A and B are shown apart, each in its own frame.
Chain A
Amino acid sequence: DAEITQSPRHKITETGRQVTLACHQTWNHNNMFWYRQDLGHGLRLIHYSYGVQDTNKGEVSDGYSVSRSNTEDLPLTLESAASSQTSVYFCASSEPTGELFFGEGSRLTVL
């Protein structure tokens, strides 16, 4: 079955370190998204991609970057982790009709 997987599921890092969260989907979807989820907020869009070599900033993109070298993967990089980036991160991909399929999430703690 097609799926979307994230790794690692849990990560603890220190302030200032670079962190990369992986996202891999086998749906063959062109559209991929990264969200963060924090208490008191709905899911907020960090970055998104509509296809290979295409990346776009979302509403909370500062301190994050993505790259899209193939259809299946959209890794999210935190250039220099900050405590404010402690959160649960969700990757998603969507079919042409627009339904989002989410991964299981990556819980990141920045100490």
Chain B
Amino acid sequence: KNQVEQSPQSLIILEGKNCTLQCNYTVSPFSNLRWYKQDTGRGPVSLTIMTFSENTKSNGRYTATLDADTKQSSLHITASQLSDSASYICVPISGTYKYIFGTGTRLKVLA
């Protein structure tokens, strides 16, 4: 059964600090993995995509890692800003269009 587990469920950090969000997944067959950011009351927006052959990918202050062998991914946020307050959703993908959505990590950045 396809499953995605994200940790922590919620996180509070001070502005300027770094944080790392974790994702463990069981998806077969595995194609690639995306991280989405969802602001409160808005639709999710893709941050990055990781193919099974990629280990690390950066998008500004966001760095995603993927270990396809252990089926783990992480999203590291550097020098957090108030605008980073959102839910971050790990989405492993099976085939081209079978998205398996995690329940997300809710991040709150305090001034």
Contacts and interface: CB of A to CB of B under 8 A. Distances in A.
Interface string A86-98: 0000101010001
Interface residues on B, range: 20 to 34
B44 A102 contact: yes
A102 B46 CA distance: 9
Interface string B36-59: 000001111110010000000000
Nearest to B90: A42
Contacts of B49: 99
Interface in A9-59: 31, 35, 40-45, 48
B100 interface: yes
A105 B40 CA distance: 11
B64 interface: no
Interface string B13-49: 0000000000000000000101000000111111001
Interface stretch (B66-74, B75-83, B91-99): B91-99
Contacts of A104: 41-43
A42 B4 contact: yes
A42 B49 CA distance: 18
Contact of A31 (B43, B44, B97): B97
Interface residues of A, number: 19
Contact of A42 (B34, B41, B96, B101): B101
A85 to B, nearest CB: 19
A21 to B, nearest CB: 14
B41 A105 contact: yes
A105 B103 contact: no
Interface in A56-111: 90, 92, 94, 98-100, 102-105
Nearest to B46: A99
A13 B55 CA distance: 48
14 contacts: A40-B103, A41-B103, A42-B101, A43-B89, A43-B101, A45-B99, A90-B43, A98-B93, A98-B97, A99-B49, A100-B44, A104-B41, A104-B42, A105-B43
Closest 5 CB pairs of A and B: A102-B43, A42-B101, A43-B101, A42-B103, A98-B96
